[in-house]
Structure 1
Amino acid sequence: MDARLHRRLGSYTIWALALSTAALIAVIFFLQFLWFGTEANTQWRNLVSHDWRLPSAVTLSTLVIRAAGAAQTTIAVSLVASVLLESHVRLSRVPEVSIMRFSNPGSWVSGWIMCETVPANPLAGLLGVLLLLVSLALQFSSTILLADFATVPALTYNATTHLNVSYGGALGMLGTEYTQSGSIWSSTPHQFPVFAEHNEPDYVQFSDNIHDTGVSVRALLPVNSQSHRELLSEYNGYLTMVDTRVACVRPNLEDVRLVPTEVPGMAGKPATFAHFEGRVSTNESIPLLATSILKEPAEFRCLANNHEEPSSLGFGQVAFTLCPFDLDMGGLLSPLTFHKIGGLAYLLFNHTNTTLGVKNVSEGWTTSPDGIWSKLRAPTSFAQGPAEVRATLCYDARSFSNTTRLVKATSGKRRIEPQIVVAFAANNGSETSLLDSQFASIDTAPVRSQLGATSHKESTEERGILDLYISPDYNDSQIEVKSLEVYGSSNYFLDRTLSLMTVRPTFRINSILLCNGCISTWAEAPGKNYVIDETLRAIFFDTLQDTGSPAVALQALFTIVSQMAYQRLRPYFYVSNTGRVTIKQDLNIPVHKRGFGIVVAMVLLQCVLVAASVVLFHRRSRCTHLADSWQVMAHVLEDKAGGDTGRGQMRTPKGKGTERVLSERARLAEGWQLSGMVRRRNSDEEEGDVTDKPVVAIRRLEVPKAKKGKA
């Protein structure tokens, strides 16, 4: 640095500029570390692992930016003020500008003075204005930086642990009523746990005659904690899987008749129940469908409602009946079982707004196509009331056989497991109870979104589930419970129990009633019948209404039932295996880069403006010494001739303190005096300062050296 410039700036100014610049550079590098750090960096992980650390670090960084920026701005404004004082400045502003070299009066005063000087000295004036504007903008650096923050999955925790994934012969078959009766269909789902999913689009089809969801393998997670499931980023280990593919076709119905069955009722009174009977076949070809049901028409018998008239309790509400065929009929073959074992076939009847509680045999029902449905019309002799029924033939691929395998599931987003919400509507200004279905409804949208049971199927990330990775040939390693190999399955008891609970109970289910009040005394009906829970009914109905597809609605239903069975058995699991669970913790971290870029740009602009101020001071200023604050006092002026009119010859005021000033100047062996010359006005001109470029100059003040012994 030039020696003269060094002397005029002073050591304090130089050190202040150097330290503030170094502080700004250090803060920028620190913020860059925060904004672009990754979890692979241990220091970054330690910093962001606690919610309070990162915002606190940003706040402290912005405090340093504001403090360093304010110091630089104060010095730079002093430099610009020195240049203005030695060039052109309004005479009335001379004291303020002179003092500004050593004490900043504040942004508003300094900014106003700088704006006034722009016409006379554009370079110095604009430089001063820009310095103050950038300094003001830096005061909002904290707000700008925090605008980049968002809560996202950021920190990964890997844990290799032993997970209980199955159970063996020590528990046997558990209770027969618990596992073999099919009573799971009447259970209420209390949770809708996260699962992993693998889809194959090859067989997906939605046409007038066929609705096919395609292969959709869903894996059930053996993770007990809901919070861990919601934070789960990756799972490597054994998972129990089920193929939830469902395909529905328009059936060919033959010899359809409505047959009443009378059974003993309560208090010795007989009860009459109506059943649809007939034969069903299909002409549609579906990939991986077991051929037995295609060879010849199959017999069916399905329970109908017993509404005898439209005024019957429950009439008008949505009513469906799902009737499984005999177990040997077979459904869709699953790649999970290497196309050896299939699911079941079902007839799904829609008998909403019909009265079928007959006491006499009704034959001669006719059919007509209605999209994926076949529409059944009652014969003219049927005088019971409105009777129009629709039916569709559906197949599923659920089969639990060696389905607990070593696989991987991942997700890049945290999720929240959905819950069912009961929504109430006002009834004369008061809330209603759950019993009043006219004014209370179940919001199933979050659950249906997770299940992909919506008209617009979202991505797995949007649905809050994991992506399941299976080998193309489905030959992933199967869990081995060695003591059970004699049963022909490496995981015999879990596979068999899940199958008994959900697909093939020991006692065949005749009808699953998806209706509320369509059969008043269903427990007395002949055969094994179940009325499913209100929550499951709502999910089924809403899915069918939203998608128009019975296949998608049944897939959602089958998935929930499989989950309920698995979650009910999970407390009994004791067969463990090593697995790796990766938890992704949500943190409030910098996600966007715009705010960081703006702050960096402002800091760089600040440094450039400060450097420009130093260069301008070096080239345009000749007299000011920033290290000599007494110089300000020597520049306080009075008007000897005209008072405060601004006219006359200016000089250093004389008074009691002047000798002390001059004595100090003598000690420093140098001093300066400010004088001003203005053009006098004519007698008819107004009083006041002349604003057309008054000349202000600083000249050297010759002060004799003080004699020895004097201050």
Structure 2
Amino acid sequence: MESDKVHPMVEDTSLDPSRIATDKHSISHNVEMVAKPAKVENNAWSRIGLVSLLTLVLGFILVLVPLVLLGLMWKESMVAMSGGEPRELWFQVVHANWTSRLVTVCTAVIRTMIAMQATVATAMIGSVVLERIGVPLSHAPFYSIARAAYISPNSLLFTTGLRPKNFSAILVLLLIVLEVLLTFASQFLSTILISDFRTGVYTDTTGTSDVHILRNIYLTGVPPDWTSIPPASSWTFAERSESFTIGSDYHDTGHVYRAMLPFEDETQRTDLRSFNGPAPVMDQRMVCVSPTLSGLSLNSSFSTTDIRLSGQMTVDIDDYPMLRSPDQVSSIDFTCALPYLTVNSTESNTTTWESTLCTPALNLNWNVQLEDPLVEPTFNDSTAQTLTILYTHNPRASSMLLILDILDKDAIASSILDTDSDSGDNTNTTTLRTDGPWSIIGANGSEVLRVSACYTNLISKTFNLSMKRSWAGTEPKLTWDRNAQIYDTASSAHQLGASRAPDNLVNRGLLALSPPSSWEEYTIDYGPVDPNYEGFNTHWWFAKYLLAYLSNPQPDTTPAADPGVLLSSSNTGQLSPNADFAHVSLFQNTLRETGSPALATQALLARGAEMLYYNHLFKLYATEPAETAFAGTALVPARWVGFAVGVGIVGVHFVVLGVVVLLFLRWTRESVLGQYWQAVAHVVEGDTAAVIERVSANNATDGEVKGWRKDREGAGGVGLGLGEQSILRRRGEGSVAIVSGAPR
């Protein structure tokens, strides 16, 4: 066949022993001439080689730098996720959508360096095996070549020459297995790190927003009757408040400073993280006390459809440290309408869910003021009288509200029926006892209702202030409770802090308002408008419209009732207005849950103030710049688990690499990494020469070589000895070769 022919120009010397011997002598002579300066091999670091040394040192740096960058990315992301302020570079990476790309690039560099260092470790392990542990002669060429070829460590797993014969062999096997696993695991570094990523919310960089300010509001028209419509939302706000206080005969919510957010869009309000600029503030503190009542009577001009409680209320200022007035004792006459009562009810229900919020006519003789108002009453009498007429409020006094809560409607109805209703006779009533902020009223020996006098400053003033949060804002919606047939207002009451021990701002979704000492008064340029009237209009706008719609009943009724609104769950309409059932539910649920008229009334008026403000916000044309920061969302690291696993893989890799380098330096003397001719020369000596000749003659494969056993080929034959232990040693004449023998 053509393949069996020898080319005429090529001399076949493969089977000529004399020619082989001559060539061997020539090669040996040339190698001696080239390899004379072999003393450098005694230096451990020169045996590692420049390429391997650079791979170890620069590889360490090129792994450490990306890992540090990723660590900083993780750290800044955690700061951002917790509401802190990360570094500017973090924002640049996030805004450029480079978070996942950074992980991809960094892990690619880390994987490459780990793979390159693993090949150096493989070469060193091959050296340790040849010089310290030993392998069968049939595997010696592989380990010798491995020192120069920089192969992957998993190649060592496919050889059967290494056995756990002693501690050294076990240690090397363990190092091989670990490095293979680490190299494999490093290929998934990107996936491991990306597992920490979540769509996180953070506080974005600060910018500037134009916000509407509460001025010139007399041009915006009359707002609707807030009591007759449900709130469109549970608007979020900023708050700084004091603790709720319970006295022997009063409830005091403490100062509750609340700043409304000058943003029409709900997303802007809930995403707002920090604000520094002008905003309206109200102190929604509510103090409810047990009043001294006298001359009480229940009057029914129209049977049980229109009942009034009349009398005189007196408050001794000395009994309440949070109230102040030029006069020690302040008193006022009142006539307050009660909700519609069903006569001959088949059900007796002492918890009737029927109340009245009544505002007795305030005049210049009434001047009780809560301490520390946002706006001091500095108007002169003539101006105050004019403004009182115009705005339905006395600027010298805090707003005073009477809360009447029915305890037993059947008892009230019975007492009314005992009188001549056509003649309009009154049923005399008396104060039976006090119960905290309540005065309990009795009729015909029964406790029929309770009364509390509540004070609040319905004042708004614009300040330059700051507010911030590191959590999400919430604006809960009202839901209908089908079983109770009432609105479920728990989430709204929770947001408003309508509790004796309100939850923290984080869980309520509110912003933290800066302390009042840091506020700067916002100066308004009123232009040609009289600053007294415009200032009053601005400061007392909420007071005017919160109270203006607590309307009077028909004027021809006797006696005429003071302004007020019914908070009844069963009233279906009569001369006095009934608030929308959403307001009734909020008030009644809070009153029943907390037992505090102060908290229930505060929640009701706070929601009403928000309704007025946001109904007019879009009409306000005056704007001012404010520094704002809103929440941003991005796919960023949100935990440390994946990063810790990645660092663990890299850390264990460096430990294994360090141990391998140490073993190479201590247990080897003759191996030089990356030297191909030396690796081959170490094999082509002594016992292996005959094997090489036979392989060359027979074109044998590795599998065939492994199957050879000791045999004799007659006189002068060579014993192959393929089952013998082989190890790299320096011979007596100075040459280094793989020879048979026991490990050191």
**CA offsets per residue over residues 105-134 of structure 1, 9 Å max, x none?**
639947999893663446544544554565
1:695 offset after TM fit, Å? 4.3
Equivalent positions of 1:592-607 (< 5 A) are: 596=643, 599-600=646-647, 602-607=649-654
Q: What is the aligned partner in structure 1 of residue 400 from structure 2?
A: 345
**CA offsets per residue over residues 403-461 of structure 1, 9 Å max, x none?**
123x212213142332224266xxxxxxxxxxxx4266644333223222234323334
Residue 544 of structure 2 aligns with an amino acid whose one-letter code is L
Question: Whole-Å Cα distance in 2 between the matches of residues 501 and 199 of structure 1?
Answer: 24
Q: What is the aligned partner in structure 1 of residue 441 from structure 2?
A: 376
Residue 156 of structure 1 aligns with an amino acid whose one-letter code is D
Q: What is the aligned partner in structure 1 of residue 100 from structure 2?
A: 55
Q: What is the aligned partner in structure 1 of residue 483 from structure 2?
A: 438
Q: What is the aligned partner in structure 1 of residue 346 from structure 2?
A: 311
1:322 offset after TM fit, Å? 1.5
* Range that drifts further, 597-606 or 207-216: 597-606
The answer as to 2:86 corresponding to 1:28 is: no
Distance 1:156 1:92, change over 3 A: same
CA contact (8 A) 2:306 2:337 kept: no
Question: Whole-Å Cα distance in 2 between the matches of residues 494 and 534 of structure 1?
Answer: 30
Question: Whole-Å Cα distance in 1 between the matches of residues 661 and 166 of structure 2?
Answer: 19
Distance 1:339 1:118, change over 3 A: farther
Identical pairs, percent: 23
| CA-based RMSD | 4.6
Distance 1:470 1:618, change over 3 A: closer
Distance 1:326 1:197, change over 3 A: same
For 1:230, what is the secondary structure of its paired residue?
helix
CA contact (8 A) 2:258 2:281 kept: yes
The answer as to 2:602 corresponding to 1:555 is: yes
Match of 1:119 among 167, 171, 174: 167
Q: What is the aligned partner in structure 2 of residue 279 from structure 1?
A: 312
Q: What is the aligned partner in structure 2 of residue 324 from structure 1?
A: 359
Question: Whole-Å Cα distance in 1 between the matches of residues 170 and 307 of structure 2?
Answer: 99
Distance 1:23 1:368, change over 3 A: same
1:273 offset after TM fit, Å? 1.7
**CA offsets per residue over residues 649-675 of structure 1, 9 Å max, x none?**
99736545479999xxxxxxxxxx99x
* Range that drifts further, 488-497 or 93-102: 93-102
For 1:520, what is the secondary structure of its paired residue?
coil
1:193 offset after TM fit, Å? 2.4
For 1:542, what is the secondary structure of its paired residue?
helix
1:370 offset after TM fit, Å? 2.7
CA contact (8 A) 1:235 1:579 kept: yes
Residue 363 of structure 1 aligns with an amino acid whose one-letter code is N
Q: What is the aligned partner in structure 2 of residue 668 from structure 1?
A: none
Question: Whole-Å Cα distance in 1 between the matches of residues 219 and 439 of structure 2?
Answer: 44
Residue 404 of structure 1 aligns with an amino acid whose one-letter code is T
CA contact (8 A) 1:81 1:100 kept: yes
**CA offsets per residue over residues 57-86 of structure 1, 9 Å max, x none?**
224423432343233234313422431243
Equivalent positions of 1:639-678 (< 5 A) are: 652=691, 655-657=694-696
Q: What is the aligned partner in structure 2 of residue 412 from structure 1?
A: 469
Distance 1:256 1:305, change over 3 A: farther
Q: What is the aligned partner in structure 1 of residue 214 from structure 2?
A: 166
Question: Whole-Å Cα distance in 2 between the matches of residues 235 and 138 of structure 1?
Answer: 45
Equivalent positions of 1:568-583 (< 5 A) are: 568-583=615-630
1:632 offset after TM fit, Å? 8.8
Question: Whole-Å Cα distance in 2 between the matches of residues 535 and 408 of structure 1?
Answer: 32
Question: Whole-Å Cα distance in 1 between the matches of residues 220 and 49 of structure 2?
Answer: 91
CA contact (8 A) 2:234 2:475 kept: yes
Q: What is the aligned partner in structure 1 of residue 382 from structure 2?
A: none
Q: What is the aligned partner in structure 1 of residue 282 from structure 2?
A: 242
- Give TM-score scaled by structure 2 length: 0.71
Distance 1:599 1:173, change over 3 A: closer
For 2:280, what is the secondary structure of its paired residue?
strand
- Give TM-score scaled by structure 1 length: 0.74
CA contact (8 A) 2:312 2:331 kept: no
The answer as to 2:458 corresponding to 1:398 is: yes
Residue 546 of structure 2 aligns with an amino acid whose one-letter code is T
Question: Whole-Å Cα distance in 2 between the matches of residues 110 and 325 of structure 1?
Answer: 97
Question: Whole-Å Cα distance in 2 between the matches of residues 479 and 100 of structure 1?
Answer: 84
Distance 1:173 1:48, change over 3 A: closer
Question: Whole-Å Cα distance in 1 between the matches of residues 49 and 488 of structure 2?
Answer: 74
Equivalent positions of 1:64-213 (< 5 A) are: 64-88=109-133, 91=136, 94=139, 98=143, 103-104=151-152, 106=154, 109=157, 116=164, 119-121=167-169, 123-132=171-180, 134-135=182-183, 138=186, 141-142=189-190, 145=193, 154-168=202-216, 172=219, 174-175=221-222, 178=223, 183-199=225-241, 204-213=244-253
For 1:272, what is the secondary structure of its paired residue?
coil
Equivalent positions of 1:209-248 (< 5 A) are: 209-248=249-288
CA contact (8 A) 1:480 1:491 kept: no
CA contact (8 A) 1:350 1:389 kept: yes
CA contact (8 A) 2:352 2:409 kept: no
Structure 1, unaligned runs of 5 or more: 263-269, 425-436, 641-648, 663-672, 679-690, 704-711
CA contact (8 A) 2:252 2:287 kept: yes
The answer as to 2:74 corresponding to 1:44 is: no
Question: Whole-Å Cα distance in 2 between the matches of residues 316 and 93 of structure 1?
Answer: 98
Distance 1:70 1:311, change over 3 A: farther
More helix by share: 2
Q: What is the aligned partner in structure 2 of residue 301 from structure 1?
A: 336
**CA offsets per residue over residues 604-653 of structure 1, 9 Å max, x none?**
4433432442342243234555536799999999xx9xxxxxxxx99736
Q: What is the aligned partner in structure 2 of residue 521 from structure 1?
A: 573
Distance 1:507 1:423, change over 3 A: closer
1:574 offset after TM fit, Å? 0.9
1:216 offset after TM fit, Å? 1.6
CA contact (8 A) 2:352 2:407 kept: yes
**CA offsets per residue over residues 551-595 of structure 1, 9 Å max, x none?**
122212111111110111112101223333233434454466676
